A and B are shown apart, each in its own frame.
Chain A
């Protein structure tokens, strides 16, 4: 059992343009409105980079930055754990198209942007951060796999960790085999100590059996097809006053059980 504190949140998804709006929806204070578009604006990056970077990087950095602004925290101070089930599907598609073409030509920028840790790399450059970062994948359990990495970092190194999860729909023909119905990114600043503005205290353990708490009923079912959206039940519980246990799909036929307690 490991204990950590949720300090701040960044969110980006259809109808979920930021954390304040998302929090009101999750706590039942406001209705969900699918018409509100997410605007992934990676303000942390230099202006000339913002448009050029891959979509996955834009989404990730925009969500990550929101969490740090909310916590009034210097981005150069936190370790980063990035997790994604499928990385940047657009880039995979273009690389495989190139490999299947007669000339097989790949652009150098496309290639260096293809690494799974591209969002972490751009983050470190934008934030001027030489802190450690890691990029992980756990297929459908990618959020829980990232959470486990963040929990072990927070608890053993006693450092604040920014956990960022993002998945975007694949283009065709890969989309037919790996349907991800909506874009979603979430960033969670996790801390080993209960700071003043902490939202919730989480105690994380591994449980037997592949159980998972469903995403809140107010949200559309298409969101549930995005592995990063596994964070939403955890965030919903973190907005409620009553303590509860949220279960997340993990690997090896197990689940993560997170006991959530509000701090205020």
Chain B
């Protein structure tokens, strides 16, 4: 693919609001997971929660979009000078030439969960305050962000479980390449809700402690919430900064919620991302794993990474810091990759005491400072939906 410069990005995740707080959390090795305190539930697990959403409603002309997921989107849009950057792009390209492509797995289902608790005892009908289109519907988040940013171009929500906000980069790149847009706001938003907490609980995939990706004793995921956005543009002569240089997508064709034990789908996604970037495995200096912390996921990903890279690449999962932010994991970790590329940082792992002795790949435990040419980010989701992204520095 032709590289696209990530001219601006913004993040709200459990490590904090904005890129500075995120990088500081990584560097200071300060995890953001806490004991489950979202609704009173008997679930014994840890979560990554974004502070302050309860006090920051979506108000004014877009008030009908108010729900936890769009509050989180709004919190993300307000970071890192992102709104201003999009406003400048809007005057440059025109509101109808900037696409908005966002990922989410559950959108505003938490709003619908609340509505179901207030059903009319006689008729069963939902309370009058419930707005399906502006909250529950998966398009709600893209619709909200498009209107918030004053854009009128192509828009879509991509919902492929935990690969959602990685795949948005691929779709946006194609849309720009095909000439339907000059720039794109990509990203993802997923917020805490009972559906995912109890759903992953039913699959016995929740860790009882802060998740420990790649650790020999790992026992599951910690669910997090996050919003992240990136502005993608065609580079100009002299453009500098981090760029999307490759993407790869594949399907496992194996099982709806268990990854293919051979890791073939993961391997195919990574390999086609390298092909799309026109680089060799040895060119990748850091790989941000999907690394959820379940025994099967990390084992299979290790196998696929080793098959493609042998020991040439250093890899780690940053979910020990943020938890698994599901449909927002792709963008959150893309932004972490961008921060690491700029800072020359391999963040290593958190909560990792003993690397699984069956692993073959080079898993980084401690942080390392080094020049990074290319980094890869993996995102794999239910339904066997895989996406790998490659980021690099524009010279």
The answer to whether B38 has its CB under 8 Å from any CB of chain A is no
B124 within 8 A of A: yes
Q: Tell me how far the C-beta of A68 lies from the nearest C-beta in chain B, rounded to whole angstroms.
A: 15
Q: A108-B257, A117-B382 are in contact. Are A178 and B132 (CB under 8 A)?
A: yes
Task: Check B41 against A104 for contact (C-beta < 8 Å).
Answer: yes
Query: Across the interface, do A99 and B113 meet the contact criterion of CB distance under 8 Å?
Result: yes
Compute how far the CA of A225 lies from the CA of B72 in the bound complex, rounded to whole angstroms.
31
Q: Are B160 and A206 in contact (CB under 8 A)?
A: no
- Contact residues in A for B384 (Cβ distance below 8 Å): 121, 124-125
The reply on A242 being an interface residue by CB < 8 A is no
Complex interface: chain B residues within 8 A of A118 (CB):
256, 383
Take A120-B385, A137-B159, A173-B126 as given contacts and tell me if A86 and B137 are in contact as well, using a CB distance cutoff of 8 Å: yes
By beta carbon, the residue of chain A nearest B111 is A96
By beta carbon, the residue of chain A nearest B117 is A100
Q: Which residues of A contact B41 (CB under 8 A)?
A: 104
Q: Is A47 positioned at the interface, with any CB of B under 8 Å from its CB?
A: no
Q: Which residue of A has the minimal Cβ distance to B107?
A: A137
Which of these binds chain A: B53-61, B197-205, B209-217, B368-376? Answer: B197-205
CB atoms of B250 and A132 under 8 A apart: yes
Q: Answer whether residue B253 sits at the interface, using C-beta atoms and an 8 A cutoff.
A: yes
The residue from A104, A117, A142 contacting B139, defined by CB atoms under 8 A apart:
A142
B contact residues around A124 at 8 Å (CB)? 251-253, 383-384
Contact of A108 among B140, B202, B251 (CB under 8 A): B202
CB-based contact B265/A100 at 8 Å: no
Contact of A115 among B96, B113, B159, B253 (CB under 8 A): B159
Q: How far is the CB of A250 from chain B (nearest CB, A)?
A: 8
Chain B CB within 8 A of A177 CB: yes
Decide yes or no whether A139 CB sits under 8 A from chain B.
Answer: yes
Say if the beta carbon of B138 comes within 8 Å of chain A.
Answer: yes
Nearest A residue to B133 via CB reads: A139
Check if A105 sits within 8 Å of B251, measured CB to CB. Answer: no
Distance from A261 Cβ to chain B, minimum over Cβ atoms (Å): 20
Which B220-269 residues have C-beta < 8 A from chain A? 249-257, 264-265, 268
Pairwise interchain contact B257-A100, C-beta atoms closer than 8 A: no
Interface flag for B171 (CB, 8 Å): yes
Kindly name the residue among A2, A105, A107, A130 whose own CB sees the greatest number of chain B CB atoms within 10 A: A130
Instruction: Tell whether, in the assembled complex, residue B383 and residue A252 are in contact, meaning their CB atoms are under 8 Å apart.
Output: no
User: Which of A15-23, A30-38, A147-155, A194-202 lies at the interface with chain B?
Assistant: A147-155
Alpha-carbon distance between A145 and B154 when the two chains are bound, in angstroms: 8
Set of chain B residues within 8 Å of A121, measured between Cβ atoms: 251, 256, 382-385
Inter-subunit contact B195/A156 (CB<8 Å): no
- Contacts A120-B251, A155-B178; A96 near B113 (Cβ below 8 A): yes
Say whether A252 contacts B253, CB under 8 Å.
no
Contacts of B156 in A (CB 8 A): 136-138, 145, 148-149, 251
Tell me how far the C-beta of B167 lies from the nearest C-beta in chain A, rounded to whole angstroms. 6
Q: Are B119 and A135 interface neighbours, CB within 8 A?
A: no
Whether A173 contacts B264 by the Cβ 8 Å rule is no
Q: Which residues of A contact B337 (CB under 8 A)?
A: none
Interface size on B, residues (CB 8 A): 69
Task: Give Cα distance in the complex from A120 to B383, angstroms.
Answer: 7
**What CA separation (Å) do A138 and B180 show in the bound complex?**
17
Task: Among A135, A149, A252, point to the contact of B151 (Cβ < 8 A).
Answer: A252
Docked pose: A252 CA to B155 CA in angstroms: 7
> CB < 8 Å: which of B137, B201, B250 contacts A137?
B137
How far in angstroms is the closest Cβ of chain B from A106?
5
Whether the pair B159, A135 counts as a contact (CB closer than 8 A) is yes
Q: A99-B198, A252-B153 are in contact. Are A134 and B158 (CB under 8 A)?
A: yes
Which chain B residue has the least Cβ–Cβ distance from A127? B253
Q: Which of B120-174 contact A (CB under 8 A)?
A: 124-126, 130, 132-133, 136-140, 142-143, 146, 151-161, 167, 171, 174
A149 to chain B, nearest CB (A): 6
Chain B residues with Cβ below 8 Å from A252 are 96, 146, 151-155
User: CB-CB contacts of A153-180 with B at 8 A, as 1s and 0s?
Assistant: 1011100000000000000111011100
A115–B132 touching, CB < 8 Å:
no
Does B109 count as interface, using CB distance less than 8 angstroms? yes
Question: With an 8 A cutoff between CB atoms, is A98 at the interface?
Answer: yes
Tell me which of B117, B180, B202, B381 contacts A105 (CB under 8 A).
Answer: B202
Knowing A100-B119, A137-B137 touch, does A112 contact B203 (C-beta < 8 A)?
yes
Q: Are A149 and B253 in contact (CB under 8 A)?
A: no
In the complex, whether A254 has a CB less than 8 A from a CB of chain B is: yes
Alpha-carbon distance between A177 and B96 when the two chains are bound, in angstroms: 30
Q: Can you list 22 A-B contacts with CB-CB less than 8 angstroms, sorted by A residue number? A: A96-B115, A99-B193, A100-B119, A108-B203, A111-B199, A112-B257, A115-B382, A122-B256, A125-B254, A131-B250, A132-B249, A133-B251, A139-B139, A139-B143, A142-B139, A148-B180, A149-B171, A152-B174, A176-B125, A176-B126, A178-B133, A253-B152
Known: A99-B117, A100-B119, A114-B195. 20 other contacts (CB 8 A): A96-B116, A99-B116, A100-B117, A108-B203, A116-B159, A125-B256, A128-B253, A136-B157, A138-B156, A145-B155, A149-B156, A152-B177, A173-B119, A173-B126, A174-B132, A176-B126, A206-B154, A206-B180, A251-B142, A252-B96
**Shortest 9 CB-CB distances between A and B: which pairs?**
A121-B383, A111-B199, A116-B159, A132-B249, A112-B257, A124-B251, A100-B116, A137-B138, A252-B152
B binding-site residues for A, Cβ under 8 Å: 41, 96, 105, 109, 112-113, 115-117, 119, 124-126, 130, 132-133, 136-140, 142-143, 146, 151-161, 167, 171, 174-175, 177-180, 193-195, 198-203, 249-257, 264-265, 268, 381-385
